[in-house]
Amino acid sequence: MSEFFSEAWLQAYREAWNQEPGLRDALARVGFTARVGFGMIDEKEPRGVLTVVDGTVTATGPGDGRALDWDLRAPAEVWQRWLANPPGMIALGAAYTVGDLRFVAGDYAGMIKDSRLAGPFVKSFQVMARITGGLDSSLSKKGGAYVEKNGSVSP
C-alpha cells in the first residue's frame, strides 16, 4: 500500500469509496457533489482532493489551489490514530471541539445535524482505515517538515 494521501493511496480510497454503499449510495440519495480536501492542519494546501459527483468519486489528486467545498485538516498524529482506529461520531466531535479536526472549508455543525450526511462522514473514516490496512502511515514532524516513512520530506 502506498503512503497516506499519495496519488496511489487516493486511487485506492476512490475505489473503496465507490464500492461502499454507505458512502456512494447514501450520498447519491442526497445529491452530494463536492470537492473534498484532506490534509495537515498546518499546511497551506490539502495533500489530497476528491471530486465527488452525486456520491461517486470521479477524480482524485493533490491540492491545486482551486476552491474546495470541504477541506478537513488534522495533525499527523491524529490522522495516524484514525487510520489505526477509525473514529466514531463522538471522537470526531471531540476532535473538532479541541481543534484537532479543522474545517478550512465546509460547515461541520450543519453537516453533523443532518443524519443523511453525518453517517457517510463517519463511514468515510472507516473506509480510509480499511484501505490503509498494513500501511505504516508514520508521519512525524521534524524541524517544521513532515518526514514520510520512506524518508522523503514535505514542508
Asked if residue 147 has pLDDT above 50, the reply is: no
Domain presence at residue 35: yes
% of residues, the chain, pLDDT over 70: 85
Domain count, the chain: 1
Domain presence at residue 152: no
Domain presence at residue 150: no
DSSP 81-140: HHHHS---HHHHHHHHHHTSSEEEES-HHHHHH-HHHHHHHHHHHHHHHHHHTT-----E
The CATH number of residue 15's host domain is 3.30.1050.10
Model pLDDT for residues 38-68, shown as the tens digit of each residue: 999 999 999 999 999 999 999 999 999 999 9
Domain of 50?
A: 7-144
Asked if residue 153 has pLDDT above 70, the reply is: no
Domain presence at residue 149: no
Residues in the chain: 155
Domain presence at residue 56: yes
pTM summary value: 0.82
Domain presence at residue 53: yes
Domain presence at residue 39: yes
pLDDT at 3: 80
Domain presence at residue 82: yes
Q: Out of 7-11, 54-58, 132-136, 137-141, which region has the weakest mean confidence (pLDDT)?
A: 137-141
| C-alpha cell at position 19 | 464500492
